[in-house]
Amino acid sequence: MLRLEKLVKTYKTGDQALKAVDLVVPEGQVLALIGPSGAGKSTLIRCINRLVEPTSGKVHLGEVDLTSLSTAALRRQRSRMGMIFQEYALVERLTVMENVLSGRLGYVGFWRSFLRKFPQSDIDEAFRLLDRVGMAHMSDKRADELSGGQRQRVGICRALIQNPALLLVDEPTASLDPKTSRQIMRLICELCKERGLAAIINIHDVALAQMFVQRVIGLRFGAVEFDGLPEELTPDVLTTIYGEEDWEATIENVNDEDGAKE
Amino acid sequence: MSDISTHIGKPWKKPPFVQRAWLRWVLLIGFSAYLIAAFLTIEVNWMRVYEGLDRGKQFILAFTSPDFSSRSGDIWEGMIESIIMTVASSVVGIIISIPIALGAARNIAPLPIYLICRSIIAISRALQEIIVAILLVAIFGFGPLAGFLTLSFATIGFLSKLLAEDIESMDRVQAEAIKASGAKWAQWINYGVQPQVMPRLIGLSIYRLDINFRESAILGLVGAGGIGATLNTAFDRYEYDTAAAILLLIIVIVMALEYLSGIVRERVQ
């Protein structure tokens, strides 16, 4: 469903963030993207919806070649890709409801959005989504009054109300505590399953990734270093992705936590 | 790592701002010498100051007996004119400043538009209000129209610059999130940018209202209408008690505006 062909991104400074990345994501697959800081994970995600303009290569979403689109057509395609951000990226001075409804901006005209007169179906859907993540009673609160976990739940609703075909998720748990991190990851993966959504999740926490996803991609210096099942992540593999370190603790930890959860 | 033993037991000092010692001393001594020389060139005619002290005393004494009544009609008219001038020029100035501020923010405007808007701001800021007022009085004649146009023009430079700077320092990620949802440009500004800069815009607008009122009192001195014209006439007639009354009124209104802006800024956090 999503196909990257020889995607290259070279920044003006000369840093090559992505070196000819090839990747195919089938319908409904939740995929984790791991790798050290600066490996190009965020760049990869942002090149897909062209928040960062790729230098060369192609991105196909379904039948559409995203890299060749005009601005107007790109806007329409962007509304098919929901994005969830590291620091939640809610507009802090807007209410929870406005933040969720901002996910519909790609479908609603300027004056309607300016006057906050969204179609009733959008409002109903917003309440349904907020209820699904347990936030319906907070709809009129301002986003900066919420805790980190609550904000990320709103962020998830904002991405889902776009009715996307694909979720791009950039470090969803980086600023959350371990328990909330797990709840958020579980929520994202459950919602993807319910709606048959594909997702690319950038994540630093290898253990957390192993717990929830179906496939792991390891990125190092802008190139795919590993592509396989979460169980195949051995200390040797992690060493090739991140460099030399004692990995036993990280992985054992996963199994322990998994055991404790069950 | 350098040898640690060379640091142990020695005091540590913050590195000086100017690294080269000789340059540091040249700058310091040169500046002091210039300052002394500059003061020595100021000529003071002490006889003239002595004579002037008496007039100064009269003026200050007039504040003990301000005369609001004998020219109350003129004062009232001038005040109303000033307030109308202030409000109208602030509203018009703010409305024009907003699009210019958007254009002058490097993170949202393309380079050509950025340069045009920055030039408008630079021109508006380079020309002092009094100079603009003299020019506009020459074009439009004496009266509040020239003052209104002057203040609107000055508001544009002030508000656009500060608002543009606030837009430039906004949180990029919040705006990016709105863009990622497929929003159109205007929607992106309305949802991603406007909420972030709104408190600053309101604060600056009220501050500018305050400045415009004070300026309107000065512009009268060059014939651009308002309470300043009344004040100027009072001085010309040596009616210091009336002048004192006008100055007191201006002080009261400025303080009231100051108080109001404090309240409003607190509310819109």
Chain pair A-B, CB pairs under 8 angstroms: 87
Residue B118 has pLDDT above 80, yes or no: yes
Residue A188 has pLDDT above 70, yes or no: yes
Please indicate whether residue A17 or residue B164 has the higher confidence score (pLDDT): B164
User: Tens digit of pLDDT for each residue in A195-228?
Assistant: 999 999 999 888 888 888 989 999 888 888 889 8
How many other C-beta atoms can be found within 10 angstroms of the C-beta atom of residue B36?
9
Residues of B with CB below 8 A from A90's CB? 174, 177
Least confidently predicted of A86-100, A158-172, A245-259, B224-238? A245-259
Residues of A with CB below 8 A from B183's CB? 75, 102, 105-106, 113
How many other C-beta atoms can be found within 10 angstroms of the C-beta atom of residue B180?
28
Say whether B183 and A105 touch across the interface (CB within 8 A).
yes
Strand (E) or helix (H) holding A73: helix A71-78
Six token digits for residue B161: 């610059």
CATH 1.10.3720.10 fits B68-267, yes or no: yes
Dihedral (CA of A149, A154, A158, A160) sign: positive
Angle among Cα A153, A253, A204 to the nearest 5 degrees reads: 45
b/e map of A48-70 (b: 16 or more CB within 10 Å)?
bbbbbebeebebebeeeebbebe
Residues in chain A: 262
- pLDDT-derived band of residue A249, with 50, 70 and 90 as boundaries? low
pLDDT for B2 equals 63
Residue B70 has pLDDT above 90, yes or no: no
- pLDDT-derived band of residue B111, with 50, 70 and 90 as boundaries? very high
pLDDT for B31 equals 96
Mean predicted confidence (pLDDT) in A177-206? 90
b/e map of B71-101 (b: 16 or more CB within 10 Å)?
beebbeebbebbebbbebbbebbbebbeebb
User: Tens digit of pLDDT for each residue in A130-139?
Assistant: 998 999 999 9
pLDDT for A251 equals 63
User: For chain A, which domains are there?
Assistant: 2-261 (3.40.50.300)
pLDDT for B258 equals 85
- pLDDT-derived band of residue B156, with 50, 70 and 90 as boundaries? very high
Rg (CA), chain B: 26
Interface of chain A against chain B, CB under 8 Å?
Answer: 49, 51, 75-83, 85-87, 89-94, 98, 102-108, 110, 113-114, 155, 158, 162, 168
Q: What's the whole-number average pLDDT of chain B?
A: 90
- pLDDT-derived band of residue A259, with 50, 70 and 90 as boundaries? very low
Q: Which of B173, B181, B184 sits opposite A102 (nearest CB)?
A: B181
Residue pair A134/A153 in contact by the 8 Å Cβ criterion: yes
Of B99, B263, B106, B173, nearest to A92 (Cα)?
B173
Å from B108 to nearest chain A CA?
14
Helical H runs in B7-110? 21-40, 46-62, 72-103
Rounded to an integer, what distance in angstroms lies between the CA atom of residue B238 and that of residue A140?
Answer: 62
Mean predicted confidence (pLDDT) in B135-149? 90
pLDDT for B1 equals 52
Rounded to an integer, what distance in angstroms lies between the CA atom of residue B223 and that of residue B229?
Answer: 6
Domain ranges of chain B: 68-267
Helical H runs in chain B? 21-40, 46-62, 72-103, 111-126, 129-140, 144-168, 172-180, 185-188, 194-219, 227-236, 240-267
Mean predicted confidence (pLDDT) in B254-259? 88
Please indicate whether residue A160 or residue A251 has the higher confidence score (pLDDT): A160
Lookup result for tokens 């795919």: A224
- pLDDT-derived band of residue B9, with 50, 70 and 90 as boundaries? confident
Residue A41 has pLDDT above 50, yes or no: yes
Return the DSSP state at B16: P
The predicted model scores a pTM of: 0.81
Residue A256 has pLDDT above 90, yes or no: no
pLDDT for B265 equals 81
- pLDDT-derived band of residue B36, with 50, 70 and 90 as boundaries? very high
- pLDDT-derived band of residue B72, with 50, 70 and 90 as boundaries? confident
User: Tens digit of pLDDT for each residue in B193-220?
Assistant: 999 999 999 989 988 998 999 888 888 8
Rounded to an integer, what distance in angstroms lies between the CA atom of residue B103 and that of residue B124?
Answer: 15
- Indicate the burial class of A202 (C-beta count within 10 angstroms; 0-12, 13-18, 19 or more): buried
Residue A260 has pLDDT above 50, yes or no: no
pLDDT for A258 equals 43
pLDDT for B192 equals 93
Residues in chain B: 269
Rounded to an integer, what distance in angstroms lies between the CA atom of residue A53 and that of residue A71?
Answer: 12
Residue pair B205/B178 in contact by the 8 Å Cβ criterion: no
Percent of chain A residues topping a pLDDT of 90: 42
Mean predicted confidence (pLDDT) in A186-201? 91
pLDDT for A20 equals 87
User: Tens digit of pLDDT for each residue in A84-99?
Assistant: 998 889 999 999 999 9
Residues of B with CB below 8 A from A80's CB? 182
pLDDT for A252 equals 46
Å from A74 to nearest chain B CA?
8
Structure ipTM: 0.84
Mean predicted confidence (pLDDT) in B239-247? 88
- pLDDT-derived band of residue B30, with 50, 70 and 90 as boundaries? very high
Mean predicted confidence (pLDDT) in A12-34? 89
How many other C-beta atoms can be found within 10 angstroms of the C-beta atom of residue B165?
14
